Structure 1
Amino acid sequence: MAAIAQQLLNPVVVFYISLFFLSMNSIVVIVNSAADTTFTPSDNYLIDCGSSSTSNLHNGKTFKSDKQSTSYLSTKSDIQVAVPSADVPSPIYLTARIFVEESTYVFRMVRPGWHWIRLHFFPMENSEFDLTHSVFSVETDDVVLLHSFSITNKTTWIMKEYLLNVTTERVTLRFSPLRNSAAFINAIEVVSAPDSLISDVGSSIVPIGEFTGLSTHSYQTLYRLNMGGATITPNNDTLGRTWEPDLRYLMARGLAKTVSVAPSIITYPEGVSPLIAPNLVYATAIEMADARVTNPNFNVTWRFDIDPAFGYVLRLHFCDIVSKALNDLYFNVYINGKMAISALDLSSITGDLAVPYYKDIVANASVLSDKLMIQIGPINQETGSVNAILNGLEVLKMSNSVGSLDGEFGVDGSKSSSAGTKGTVAAVGFAMMFGAFVGLGAMVIKWYKRPQDWERRNSFSSWLLPLHAGHSSFMTGSKNSGGSQKSGYGNFYSSTLGLGRYFSFAELQEATKNFDQNAVIGVGGFGNVYIGVLDDGTQVAVKRGNPQSEQGITEFQTEIQMLSKLRHRHLVSLIGYCDENSEMILVYEYMSNGPLRDHLYGKNLPPLSWKQRLEISIGAARGLHYLHTGAAQGIIHRDVKTTNILLDENLIAKMADFGLSKNAPTMEQTHVSTAVKGSFGYLDPEYFRRQQLTDKSDVYSFGVVLFEVLCARPAINPALPREQVNLAEWAMQWKRKGLLDKVIDPHLVGVINPESMKKFAEAAEKCLADYGVDRPSMGDVLWNLEYALQLQEASSQAKKDEENRAAAEAATAAAPSPRAVIPPIPTTADVKANADHRSTGGDDDDDEPAAQVHAISEDSGTAMFAKQLTEINGR
């Protein structure tokens, strides 16, 4: 034993023993790292709906039939359908289960926590139902996943992916057919996700700072991109995610360049799990290209369609695979033009190259429009390389303040007994206040005031008009008014309420120069509208109500109720209000180009081009479409006309004046019975006869607007002959004759594309159908107008190309042919001199033309062409 002990104390042996244990420790670290790349879900429900057997997919997933466990499905009436084949990526889309009444799937949870819910839809052709006409909703006990959902294309398959933090012992998926329709589902996935996938903290842009409460929201995946790389399928992602290439969303592709490395060199740091994103994401990137532009400090931009009524978590993935050394790459990240990350230095964060890093950024309505723009660019300082990169991007829609991911209403209180307790105390308090608001009107606004003006001016509500605070459940004070409101956005919305900035009467007197009559820019039933300038230089429109008008009080209340729950690029925004003493004043964003009508006739303004008229019509249609479908219950404007379509400095159209607006009928109703209000010439005749209001009444009025845009004359003109007084009737007569081009605005004659005008007129004609059921939705109208614009732009481009071609041919014909230059016969002395030049190492004959080509390449195409013409004419 002593000999063995002595041998163990030998320095060489000690060294090898130490090395052995060190190696064992290294092995353990590697194993742990490898373990982190795998995830085994505790809950893993994969259901092939309507199938009679198990489906084995090529990616290794096995979907069981919902027949194999009666505990999944609860329904009184359902239909199973199947097709032998279809152009779909998986056999799970070849079967479906159809529901003609409310039905549920119930899944029992092994453990709480984050769970994926993936819903697969394909409207297969079958003899039972035309699934392209199905309209239905899908919700859990707590969250609305889909509202009024439909797929109208028979060849389209869709997968909707959600991430929910499950805190109960079961997950219930409720399918509810709407409008005497049916619901259907092809396959369902309910699968556990890692707890580390979503943390509770992110970064907010407005206000700048830390955002807490991410773990209290539910999410829908809208976009998941692998920048600069190919599609990553669920086979190559441990969590079964799909990452698509970014190319289709990339603007100005010439400014971007793809870069990639071997995935094996990516090293995950401590605190970043490989489950966040696979190494394939970090092994590719988009960087700034050598665009050969004068200013190399440009941005690389991606653009996405979104719904601005929701907040979003933007997860940005970075990994420096472009630098040759540390501390050489510094760049900025912008979201919709606002700085999101300034002077990002990945080296200082990760301590090495090829190390993943990600950042969660929260963007809300104060930052977003109907487009999301992500930009990366250099810091414009002489520090390191002029470059910027992005490896991956995930865009997750956040549930709103009432727990919805589609629409602005939460789960019905009768279906969720705990809905009323989910909001915070603040949410309940404010919900009570809004319930009282309906009954007490302007008195509630006076109650809401605070004694100190500085408090009002410096509160969050001074700068932001939130989206969800004015939801109908707040307005009615129902037991569900608290909704599923949670911390984070929920508290933020509750604290601001949507009333905007409070203005004192003295502030508005100063802004309008004591309501100077010269500042009046509009007059209505509510009162005068003045242009004003706030103390920070912002121009605003100030609508001062008539204190003696009962109509004014009603409109004042309605305007606040409606605009407090609306925010859209094509709706005029309410900035704030004043209710001091007997004054009722609303303050809006200023629309510098005034109403559309002024640009069509009566004001001697420069005529609008046909393209401008199309773009304005499309903008107004988008605003109305949002009113009808984007709000919780839907809103009917009830006074659509060209004076209520306002134009900003860029001629962007926005709907205005919501004083007559009404909530649309609920799912159980077909119309709203109400006294007829509106403007003559625009009134829906069916609404006038029956006093039954629907969103199709707005569609009729918009049809009149379209003919106003086309013909540039008022909807009603009593000075004209009797048959011409009513524009809608008169234009329709000429449309039926096929001679509408005889009565259009003379400024459009010869410049409007006939096919574009035909499509535009067809849209207007459909809007003016006698019965509402025969009229299109505003979504359909919008589609036809956008198509008319495409026809016009295609025609204009073809005409421009033809003009350019003709000009080029004319220039070629006008230019004299270069005269042939006959070189002189070289003398003996010339030959000798040339030989001497070559023998002394002079330039080759090819060098001079090369220099000329290099010089020409530095000129623009136009300058080069002019230079060549000058040389030719000078010979």
Structure 2
Amino acid sequence: MGGDRYRASWPQPFSSLPLLIFLFLFFFFLLNLTNFASAIENGSSNTATFAPPDNYLIDCGSSQPTQLVDGRTFKSDHDAASLLQTDEDVQASIDSISINAYSSIPSSSLPLYRTAKIFLEDSTYTFFISQVGWHWIRLYFFPVAHPSYNLIDAVFSVYADQIVLLHHFSVRDNTSLVFKEYFINVSDTFSLQFKPNKESYAFINAIEVVSAPDSLISDLATGVSPLGDFKGLSKSAFQVSYRLNVGGPTITPKNDTLSRTWEPDSQYNMFPQGSKDASVSPKTIKYPDNGATAYIAPSSVYATAVHIQDPLTLQPNVNLTWKLNVDPSFSYLIRLHFCDIVSKALNNMYFNVYINQMVGVSILDLSFLTNALATAYYKDFVLNRTAITNGSILVQIGPSEFHSGNMDAILNGLEVMKMSNEANSFDGLFTADGSYKGSSSAKRRMKILAAVGLGMAVTAMLLLASIFVRWQKRPGGWEKRNSFSSWLLPLHSSRTSFLSSKSSSRRSSLFGSRKSKSGYSSYFASQGLGKFFTIHELQNATQNFDEKAMIGVGGFGKVYLGALEDGTKIAIKRGNSGSEQGINEFRTEIDMLSKLRHRHLVSLIGFCDEQSEMILVYEYMANGPLRDHLYGSKLPPLSWKQRLEICIGAARGLHYLHTGAALGIIHRDVKTTNILLDENLVAKVSDFGLSKAAPTMDQTHVSTAVKGSFGYLDPEYFRRQQLTEKSDVYSFGVVLFEVLCARPAINPSLPREQVSLAEWSMQCNRKGMIEKIIDPHIASNINNGSLKKYVEVAEKCLKEYGVDRPGMGDVLWHLEYALQLQEAAASQVGPPDNSARVITLEKSRENDSRGDSDGVVSDNSEVSTIGSPLFSQIGNFQGR
């Protein structure tokens, strides 16, 4: 009875079951509805998760599974034993040894580094791939302690099928963890082979072979050097070199959509004082319908950024720079992540992207690309190994000077991936079968080096023999008349030469050998390179480079006033020996100036390259740079006539450069600091460190990386990287307005529309307000006709396209005509009848050429062409 009462009080099983099922489904629906709404709010891809079809995770040497804080579980050796194949002739207990010894690594580190598997013979893991395509290959190394094997001494190679991941690899440091990450397109079966070197062994702490979305790498990227489209990324394999969360903290695998780690960028940021961090909530980040996804980078990457600290106080030509050390023998895929989280409105930020000082993107407008703020965008670049110098990659961003809007630039994330080479390797040129796969040119270089080495050995033996013979025949009193170094003619003296002491062949073979007892080499004289000064001579001339003798500082280095023994004053420009760019400028300056002689070009007297120095010696220009006479100093202001004469002199110098040589020369850095004045205020163009030979007759331009000074840079050259003489004309147009207005080419402290002198002056001229921006010191003394002619030619110099600008011959004539109008007004005499000589800019442009330009006025300056093939065609050319 009691039992029946109990059963009677129990609910009937089928009476409540439908209700329970209904409640369960209802709550499940509500939960998913909430998640769906959250996904809509945050962006459809923002919460994306990826379930990899292949997910091999092995904690090598571990006796039990290892679970990480991100939720992933790595199998033990026992569970993964079927994947490992070893040499059948070797007992398994010897072939692979599991160790559980504790090491000195901190407990906070990943537990995957606490155990390892040691391989005494070649051993292979074989993985069966369910979905062919891109896979992550991640390898963990740390030499944990073992009683019988010192893993620091292990030397081995690792192959992924036929791809060489590591060649003769070793871990010599037991204080840091080693993590290698690769991205490889794999087929149906995939193997990892560990191959110990002879009489050594291999080891591994943990392995990951995990599927990745196919959309992670497209086949197309932007080539940087040469510039253009790069196709074929899908045929390459990649090794992750850097993955940076710019402006933000470390992102661990737990917070990444594909279990990646993103490190902070702070240690790679070369200009932190000009950088400002920005961040927003990751929930505000949006992903476009076709473009970046959360697989490309999680929203936490796009939610942080670095942008310009305060664009109004920074130097205008300064870019934010990240420097990443790399192996220069490989090409690299560089992925940049952008998301405008700082602008308040669309179309208000335009900036440029540079890779190794070459333009990657010009005038990048994120608003145009994404049609919204806080929207993810990324761009891939390929940098060829031939464009890598100094073993590093420089990524730079900077505001565009040719667009209105915020003077700002932004970067959110940065990835650098090494690309496999022709040997299908990430470590040298040896293939997986051990053969050398170097290019024919590399092999040829090796043979050449061997031949050179043999030749040098023979030369050294002959040299020693000659020294011995000379020693035997030395005359009496030889100690007083000769030094040991003088026996080695025509080799350099025993002093250390900057150009010959460096390992780079560019430096060591720059000018060849030279030496004489006086320090002046007949070799240099015959080559037209000027006098070779000893460092001792220049130290005496400057009181050991006393700071009191310093008269200026430039990008190349400091400039000192010196005096030779005969009392001649000289200007000594002492370069920064640590600058690779300085070496190029050093050589270019000597190559150019030593073969040019013109009344309106600064003369190079000589140079010195002893004791790791780069020193150029010029004629002394007593009145210094033109800019000092316009603003920023206490010097008395120049009159309008003096300014016209100075501009005419500078124009003559530039016109000679463009037309006076067989090929012509483009200065590429025309500005008021590079126009110097002598004691009589005669203008001379200086600083030829960036100069380039002009295009030949069958060329329209010279393709080259953009270089110059902010505010003077030709916008067409900047956009297209195509240099012509008209680039100098544009810069000279800025100089003309700088002379007229006595203000810098760029002044960030002014209202935005007035920051750029070129834009502001043309705007004022179009409105008929040019008189309002003229230097007050000269405004009342300028003849209207002279001013009109001057402003007319200055504005035409600043035309957006080079074809619309006049040649320097036209510029020179119009400046001289402006001077004649000014002089005529001052003497109250009408201007001379120049109707026969007056030409329109449009007509003269058609006839402008390097050797014959209408309206060119001679200044009777004698030109010296010092034994250079470059000037062999112009003979006794008279400078104009």
Q: Could you say which TM-score interval applies, normalised by the shorter chain?
A: 0.3 to 0.5
Which protein shows a greater Rg? 2
